[in-house]
Structure 1
């Protein structure tokens, strides 16, 4: 595909592959390979961040014949074995984004996990106990890493890949009490400083498929559990 052509991206999140191997994604990956140019997985590839789960996903990904781009999610950190999980996934050909952009057929993919913190005027501020300050610092750090990655993009087409949501609109449907733990407006503030064609995230299983940043960048919640226009667990987007 040349740079002027449209790039079809299949995007999904929250596969939560478990050690018991009861759920296979081979057929879905085969199907995606026939309808898209790139597969993007927006975090929570595994359920508990265990190497065995990553091995099972890597085996399923053998049926995927197109490039695979991903970010890790909070579940992928659960067992403290991120390096082992990451090594297994990259060994299977997955391009893991962690503050580093990659370009495929003229389109840039830029990703970080993101973090919690809340949205708009309800966003958590760095005040009070050291634990709160540490949480805000983590949110700021993820946004800064995203900004640094976006500054390195030279393509005029860029997709941002996150796990945590950058806007409240796409977490609507979740209990409002947990909104602060589903994402942060700091991510949207960073995105809106650049020319971004689309943003995908997961994490909010009960959220809403589509929304926009304050400056109009389209945002899609591609968690497998969220209803999408094509009726599939994955969305098809064009860059």
Structure 2
């Protein structure tokens, strides 16, 4: 599909869970997603066990995609203890794998991090007690800082945040309440209040809710493929998101709006 002169389009999906038996099964899906968009964004759990074999299958399935591909890893990509192998295999295939970094596609900045769990709001786990609890909370803080560092690098008027874990409770609703603390963390929302974005995408919660909002009203989309398949059986299982393409001469105005929104969000928080 040719580029639109007025919008930049992103096809976004997470939780593909590629196994060694996925070879040949996803090319059509990826090609369909890429055909509708200017870029393909992947929100983690790209593989099922995080093995080199699965990563190679995924890289091969993505070979038909001719638009830029940007990804973050998920918890499943860490299962075999070699997430760097998954990331490196995808990078060799031309995928931009973000882990506290940012990139830019057609004037839209993308900040990416895996994120972590720990709970939401008053249910957030605090760094108190046994060392292992403190380590757990430190990991959540570390991932939030990665997201913040990535967001701080962006200088574009339009911005997207890419995560695996949820930054708000709203998009995990539908999952058993008992496991909410393991599906995301409010700590991931804090950088999004300091550095406003146009949209946030995550996966992980297969039985969650498709859409929610941060405290300051930014849309958050749960793009876990199993959720999209179940909730929208009549549509292809990816989320198509459009942003206005920046026209020459409008950047300063949008930047001013973003700055004021940032100040308002910070004051709100």
Normalising by the smaller structure, the TM-score range is over 0.9
Aligned to 1:66: 67
Say if 1:119 and 1:185, in contact at 8 Å, map to a contact too.
Answer: yes
CA distance in 2, matches of 1:2, 1:153: 23
CA distance in 2, matches of 1:193, 1:72: 24
CA distance in 2, matches of 1:3, 1:74: 35
SS in 2 for 1:226: helix
* 2:238 is aligned with 1:231: no
SS in 1 for 2:179: helix
Say if 1:3 and 1:105, in contact at 8 Å, map to a contact too.
Answer: no
Aligned to 2:45: 44
Q: Report deviation, 1:30.
A: 1.1
Say if 2:3 and 2:38, in contact at 8 Å, map to a contact too.
Answer: no
CA distance in 2, matches of 1:165, 1:45: 16
Say if 1:124 and 1:136, in contact at 8 Å, map to a contact too.
Answer: yes
Aligned residues: 239
Structure 2: gaps (5+ residues):
244-269
SS in 1 for 2:194: coil
Distance 1:162 1:173, change over 3 A: same
Q: Report deviation, 1:5.
A: 3.4
Q: Report deviation, 1:148.
A: 1.3
Say if 2:211 and 2:222, in contact at 8 Å, map to a contact too.
Answer: yes
Higher percent of residues as helix: 2
CA distance in 1, matches of 2:198, 2:4: 15
Q: Quote the RMSD (CA, aligned, Å).
A: 1.7
* 2:161 is aligned with 1:157: no
CA distance in 1, matches of 2:100, 2:4: 23
Greater than 6 Å deviation, 4+ residue runs: 1-4
CA distance in 2, matches of 1:56, 1:122: 39
Aligned to 1:187: 188
Say if 1:2 and 1:105, in contact at 8 Å, map to a contact too.
Answer: no
Distance 1:108 1:2, change over 3 A: farther
Aligned to 2:258: none
Say if 1:116 and 1:184, in contact at 8 Å, map to a contact too.
Answer: yes
Q: Report deviation, 1:63.
A: 1.0
Say if 2:112 and 2:147, in contact at 8 Å, map to a contact too.
Answer: yes
Aligned to 2:57: 56
Q: Report deviation, 1:231.
A: 2.2
Structure 1: gaps (5+ residues):
none
SS in 1 for 2:226: coil
CA distance in 2, matches of 1:116, 1:23: 33
Aligned to 2:76: 75
| CA offsets 1:21-40 (integer angstroms, 9 cap, x no match) | 36721001111121111100
* 2:132 is aligned with 1:108: no
* 2:198 is aligned with 1:197: yes
Say if 1:165 and 1:171, in contact at 8 Å, map to a contact too.
Answer: yes
| CA offsets 1:150-180 (integer angstroms, 9 cap, x no match) | 1111001110000000001000110000000
CA distance in 2, matches of 1:193, 1:54: 34
Aligned to 1:93: 94
Q: Report deviation, 1:82.
A: 1.4
TM-score normalized by the length of structure 2: 0.85
Distance 1:4 1:122, change over 3 A: farther
Say if 1:12 and 1:223, in contact at 8 Å, map to a contact too.
Answer: yes
Aligned to 1:123: 124
